[in-house]
């Protein structure tokens, strides 16, 4: 049972990370003229540091 709980926790962690990466990709796909460069940089930096 403990092993199953550990595997579920790992799966949740990976799903959360995938969601974060998806958010980053969506933000970067916005055309340059429509995005806030400082916001994008801050978002990327905060996610790189959290790894």
Q: Is the pTM of this model over 0.75?
A: no
Q: Name the residue with tokens 């799966």.
A: 11
Per residue in 31-42, pLDDT tens?
556 767 787 787
Distance separating alpha carbons of residues 7 and 28, to the nearest angstrom? 32
Query: What residue ranges do the domains of the chain occupy?
Result: 2-49
- The more confidently predicted of residues 28 and 14 is 14
pLDDT at 18: 95
- Tally: H helices and E strands in the chain: 2, 0
């Amino acid at each position: 049972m403990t092993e199953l709980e550990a595997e579920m926790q790992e799966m949740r962690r990976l799903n959360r990370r995938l969601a974060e990466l998806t958010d980053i990709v969506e933000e970067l796909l916005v055309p340059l003229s429509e995005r806030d460069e400082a916001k994008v940089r801050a978002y990327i930096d905060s996610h790189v540091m959290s790894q």
